Amino acid sequence: ATPRHPLAEPLKAALAKAGVGDGVLLVLPADCDSSHVGLFLDAGRAVMAAPNGTRFVVVHHGYGAAGLARTLRLEDPSAKTTIIDFADPAPSDEDAVASAVTTVVAEVAATTDFTEARYGADGGRTVPRLSALAAPKPGPIQDSLDATDVLLVTGGGKGITAESALALAKDSGARLALLGRSDPESDSELAENLDRMEAAGIRYRYERADVTSAPAVAEVVARIEADLGPVTAVLHGAGRNEPAALFSLTEDSFRKTLAPKIGGLNAVLNAVDQDKIKLLVTFGSIIGRAGLRGEAHYATANDWMTELTLRFGQEHPKARAIALEWSVWSGTGMGEKLGVVSALMRDGITPIPTEEGITILRQVLADPAAPPVLVVCGRTSGLATLPIQKRELPLTRFVDRAIVHYPGVELITEADLSDGADPYLTDHLLDGQLLFPAVLGMEAMTQAAAATLDRTGTPVLSDVEFLRPIIVSPGGSTTVRLATLARDADTVDVVIRSDETGFSADHFRARLSFARPAELGERAPRDVALPPVPVEPISELYGSVLFQGKRFQRVLGYQRASARHAVAEIATSADHYWFAPFLPQERLLADPGTRDAMMHAIQCCVPDATLLPQGIEKLYLAEPGVQHDEYVLLDAKERFQDGDSYVYDLDVRNPDGTLVERWEGLKLRAVRKRDGAGPWVPSMLGSYVERACERLLGGTRSVVLEPDPAGRPAEGIAERRAQTALAAG
């Protein structure tokens, strides 16, 4: 503890009396500074020198030792660590001292792994957790920065700060004032960046200065303002990082690391008119939030800089102050400079591509509702020191084993498919192989997307692709892996992979949006003038033209079955179970058998081949319960044909004409072509003859084949003409 700290002796006595065991307790005043670095290091080394499993507890507030404590926990995973943040860590009131002592003793006794607890002035306890912030819609940044502004950038000649400054100046037209230590005459990277700014038409001024020297900063800021005008915005990106483990870290190195982040920011803010500052952005590091092996000093510097940014915003309510705590960037920045990007990726920490980092910066500045502190990161490999706000995943068939889960951001889950667990597979048997149906793929993707965003409702699917079949061997099993990535608060990209390809290739993929229109289209009256096409689908089509088994046999009949237009009645009522009784039964989408029939009913347009789905441009799915409880009417029209690929648009309506589902750009591919070989179901022959005539003769024509009345051939001119009239509709 610091000398004469009011909690030191009371805590020493209380801990001895409580008999909680050995450990190291570091008790600090509110808002430490560089003079406390030696005390930080002494405490850390005492823990590292102690037996495995030693407890380490820090009591502080504001500029404290959280960065060191988090790093120590990562350097020595056996160290049981608790960080206690009191609103007043050095109370003078006797009752307040007693209350604080009681709280600390309880926290020490409960220290079994890693905990960070914050106590407010009212005594309320909170535990910090990261939670996902949905990406805002793209927008202009003019509210934060415009052509009247001068943006002062520290560390701004190179790295991620230079890339960010260049992008912001292009977007806003602001003038740039760049501070750095390098000389463009001898630094090619800096010279190239300045040339890029010149080529982009950006008005800028580069000044060499050591940001840790307040007099030097004040001098160059005066020159900048004389040239460009008053500084109205600051982007602080200066920093120093020379990794060193706690045992080898010196006080001098610690202080030199604090200097550019804390001393540098203070020097800049003291050199400008703070009342004219409308925007302050500090580029910190996720290391300040989580710690990192060999980075106790850098973690502390970034932790303190975030606190300094918050306080500036509180003291200047007209200014917008934002602390961005970045994970490592790929392609540029400190991680590339230190050569640690590959090592971090091996540890499961995903870097941020430069372009994505710039995009996020633009989104934050364009969003007035963005909070003042944001952690920007990819995967963090489940760091114990960076707890994430978790939620339970729903119990659904395809959200089975979660491998990766960042709520609101990403989900990777696996499920095992087999004919025992998934009996519908036996009804989707083609050439001796069980095919995972596209409609169950849609259900699986919807379950994964809904779990990612914690959303309900039926999404709109777009850019749907069925790239490779997912095959299950009879009696065997196939593991599928669903991976999701949220694009915004409503939208998720989903892919399905399979162990058949070592999870290395996408089999199905789509974008799902839960922001769906209230109405799909106008009600249309049903055309009842057409007589039904003389075919009985169950007995004449299924098993020959159509390979689907019982669960999917929903085509009741056709009103039209031509080469490029199909109108069919599709059953919606069926009493089938889709998953084994020991699995969750809930489905998020309407009946998959009905939806599969919407695709395979189009088989009547290409009756001499098997049509398999390849993709869908956009699919407005029917919500459960809105379809008629007996049947719906499918109206499918061919948009175009390209070789063996056929593209259709589908409207699905209830009997009263209400549009309940719409497919735009359903792409089907013909396989298992028979090239006209029979036997033929008579009513299906017309489509084949029509397409064959077009191939041979060119042009377009309609061909309809109307079978003779059941039981006898049409006789005489009158009967044959009646049959012709019937065929012509």
Which strands make up the sheet holding 125-126, listed edge to edge? 23-30, 55-61, 80-86, 114-119, 125-126
Q: How confident is the model at residue 528 (pLDDT cuts 50, 70, 90)?
A: low
Q: Are residues 40 and 86 in the same domain?
A: yes
Note the pLDDT tens digit of each residue in 27-55: 999 999 999 999 999 999 999 999 999 99
Q: How confident is the model at residue 297 (pLDDT cuts 50, 70, 90)?
A: very high
Q: How confident is the model at residue 681 (pLDDT cuts 50, 70, 90)?
A: confident
Cα distances from 562 to residues 604, 631, 642, in angstroms, run 7, 21, 18
Quick one: pLDDT at residue 379? Answer: 82
pLDDT (average), residues 606-624: 93
Beta strand 471-472 pairing with 433-435: antiparallel
Given a cut of 70, whether residue 712 has pLDDT beyond it is no
Given a cut of 80, whether residue 726 has pLDDT beyond it is no
Q: Are residues 438 and 473 in the same domain?
A: yes
Question: Using an 8 Å Cβ cutoff, are 516 and 620 in contact?
Answer: yes
Phi, psi of 107 (to 5 degrees): -65, -40
Higher pLDDT, 705 or 562: 562
Does 113 reside within a domain?
A: yes
Q: How confident is the model at residue 551 (pLDDT cuts 50, 70, 90)?
A: very high
User: DSSP letter string over 7-63?
Assistant: THHHHHHHHHHHT---EEEEEEEES--GGGHHHHHHHHHHHHHSPTT-EEEEEEESS
Q: Range with the lowest mean pLDDT among 313-322, 529-538, 661-670?
A: 529-538
Element (H, E) at 559: strand 555-561
pLDDT (average), residues 105-134: 94
Q: Are residues 444 and 489 in the same domain?
A: yes
Q: Are residues 182 and 97 in the same domain?
A: no
Element (H, E) at 687: helix 682-697
Q: Are residues 166 and 300 in the same domain?
A: yes
Final residue in a domain of this structure, among 69, 91, 126: 126
Given a cut of 70, whether residue 584 has pLDDT beyond it is yes
For residue 321, the cross-strand partners are 280
Final residue in a domain of this structure, among 662, 680, 698: 680
Element (H, E) at 109: helix 94-109
Beta strand 410-418 pairing with 401-406: antiparallel
Q: Are residues 345 and 430 in the same domain?
A: no
Does 158 reside within a domain?
A: yes
Mean pLDDT for the chain overall:
91
| CA distance linking residue 420 with residue 417, whole number of Å | 8
Given a cut of 60, whether residue 277 has pLDDT beyond it is yes
Q: How confident is the model at residue 212 (pLDDT cuts 50, 70, 90)?
A: very high
Q: Are residues 447 and 409 in the same domain?
A: yes
Note the pLDDT tens digit of each residue in 366-396: 998 899 999 998 888 778 899 998 889 999 9
Of 369, 301, 372, which Cα lies nearest the Cα of 334?
Answer: 301
Final residue in a domain of this structure, among 661, 680, 699: 680
| CA distance linking residue 589 with residue 600, whole number of Å | 19
Domains: count for the chain? 4
Q: Are residues 451 and 577 in the same domain?
A: no
Largest CA-CA distance found in the chain, in angstroms, rounded:
119
Given a cut of 80, whether residue 614 has pLDDT beyond it is yes
Instruction: CATH number of the domain at 676, please.
Output: 3.10.129.120
Does 578 reside within a domain?
A: yes
pLDDT (average), residues 65-77: 96
Q: Which residues of 490-516 are buried (b: 16+ CB within 10 A; e: fewer)?
A: bbbbbbbbbebeebeebbbbbbbbbee
Q: Are residues 212 and 303 in the same domain?
A: yes
Does 84 reside within a domain?
A: yes
Given a cut of 90, whether residue 717 has pLDDT beyond it is no
pLDDT (average), residues 246-267: 97
Torsion of CA 336, 341, 342, 347, to 10 degrees: 170
Identify the domain containing residue 451 by its residue range. Answer: 401-513
Q: Are residues 119 and 154 in the same domain?
A: no
Instruction: CATH number of the domain at 415, please.
Output: 3.10.129.10
Quick one: pLDDT at residue 231? Answer: 98
Instruction: CATH number of the domain at 178, please.
Output: 3.40.50.720
Question: Using an 8 Å Cβ cutoff, are 470 and 508 in contact?
Answer: yes
Q: Are residues 276 and 154 in the same domain?
A: yes
Q: Are residues 280 and 171 in the same domain?
A: yes
Torsion of CA 389, 390, 391, 394, to 10 degrees: 150
Q: How confident is the model at residue 695 (pLDDT cuts 50, 70, 90)?
A: confident
Beta strand 233-236 pairing with 150-154: parallel
Quick one: pLDDT at residue 714? Answer: 62
What is the percentage of the chain residues whose pLDDT exceeds 70?
93
